[in-house]
Amino acid sequence: MVNEDWGALFAQAGVDGTFAMREVGRRQRLCGIPSGRWSAAWNQDHNLRTAIEVSAVWVYQELARHVGRERMQQWVGSAGYGNADIGGGIDQSWLTGDLRISPLGQLGFLELLAQRRLPFRVEVQDSVADILVREHGDDWAWSHKTGTALIEDPDLGWFVGISRHEGRTFVFAMNIDLEQVTDIGTQLDPQIRQNLARQILQSEEALPQN
């Protein structure tokens, strides 16, 4: 089902993009289709939690090189992530390489994570889910992660995650056209994506209003 009202929110933010969400355990989807180490925060020691907080790409690249192509291909394939093609370099596949996934593909992957049904140990999935939580309250929690696809035309800025509110769980995925923003620092700043996603999720009662 297409929600055309979201187009006004994209227009107010001055960006073009796509947003999709679904309540976990339900088949109906809501979709809206409106018209170097660049960050100083990267240049420090990191663990997985802090690396995810600031999207320190070099940490993920080091991990990918450590895992190696064979094991990486096995796990990406078994998880059913996108086209599961890690061509273009073990440390570049998701940046400038051949790995591709659609917003709806992201929903499927995130729903498996929310239900702990990915082909990884449950404690590993619990740990990742905990690391991804950015905000939470008594009856709600919001997990999210940014991403950037630099090989696409136009370049895409991703914002995906899971929201839990009043006993319901939702997964969402958004990407926006980064070519409208000429400054690379602004492109990597997730605030526009985060604010826009918050408005949409609040409008669907997937997050509290305040």
Segment 124-146, tens digit of pLDDT: 999 999 999 999 999 999 999 98
Per-residue pLDDT of 55-90, as tens digits, reads 888 888 989 999 999 999 999 999 999 999 999 999
Q: Classify the C-alpha dihedral 120-121-124-126 as positive or negative.
A: positive
**pLDDT for the residue numbered 35:** 41
Give counts: helices (H), strands (E), the chain.
8, 6
Cα(171)–Cα(206) distance, rounded to whole angstroms?
9
Gap between the terminal Cα atoms of the chain = 27
**pLDDT for the residue numbered 96:** 83
Kindly report the pTM of this predicted structure: 0.83
Helix (H, G, I), strand (E, B) or coil at 173: strand
Percent over 90 (pLDDT), the chain: 51
For the domain with range 6-39+103-203, which CATH number is right: 3.40.710.10, 3.30.2310.20, 3.40.30.10, 3.40.50.300?
3.40.710.10
**pLDDT for the residue numbered 17:** 78
Judged by average pLDDT, the poorest of 3-12, 24-33, 142-151, 169-178 is: 24-33
* All structural domains of the chain with their residue ranges: 6-39+103-203
